[in-house]
Amino acid sequence: MSDTRPPAIDTGLAPLAELAAHVGAKLRARGETVAVAESSAGGLVSAALLAIPGASAYFLGGAVVYSRRAGRNLLGVTKEDMEGMRAETEPYATFIAGRMRDTLHATWGIAESGAAGPSGSPYGDAPGHVCVAVVGGTTRVRTIETGGTNRPANMEVFARQLLALFDEVLQAAS
């Protein structure tokens, strides 16, 4: 049986489990906590962080906010909150990261919002587009374009990019 799936996207980033272990160790050592909001990564970030033994010391919770309904019901996002903003943008990713942090009273909130593919989003973003954000003692946000249409590969890249950005922020805050 041959594998006809498109190849994974090589980002040069560490594997997801390694990034999660690194971030988890830093959070545990510092006595800090994180809350996670995901969209197109589909829960991979939360799963990676929770796979680390002792995750209850730093992981307060997460949500897959994949629709407006989920945003309303899980995070209390209102029409007023969304005025002048749309999903899959840096302002939205930053807003959702901050909302998760505040809702769960975490030290840090991290979030991603993107279009995993294989087609683009209803907002006009190409597949492989994601915005990742970290909100806490400092705020940092980044837009990534993989250029790929492989949904599972993009989802993993989105998760790795979010954890890599969080690791950078934690390193800078040391």
- Check residue 45 and give its pLDDT: 98
Q: Please, are residues 116 and 124 in contact by the beta-carbon 8 Å criterion?
A: no
The count of other CB atoms within 10 Å of the CB of residue 84 is 5
Domain boundaries, the chain: 16-172
* CA distances to 12, 155, 157, 159 from 8, in Å: 12, 10, 9, 14
Q: What share of the chain is helix, strand, coil (3-state, %, to 5)?
A: 45, 20, 40
- Residues in the chain where the model's pLDDT stays below 50: 1-7
What pTM value is reported for the model?
A: 0.93
- Which CATH fold would you assign to the domain 16-172? Maf protein (3.90.950)
Beta-bridge partner residues of 112: 132
User: What angle (nearest 5°) sits at the alpha carbon of residue 139, between those of residues 135 and 140?
Assistant: 110
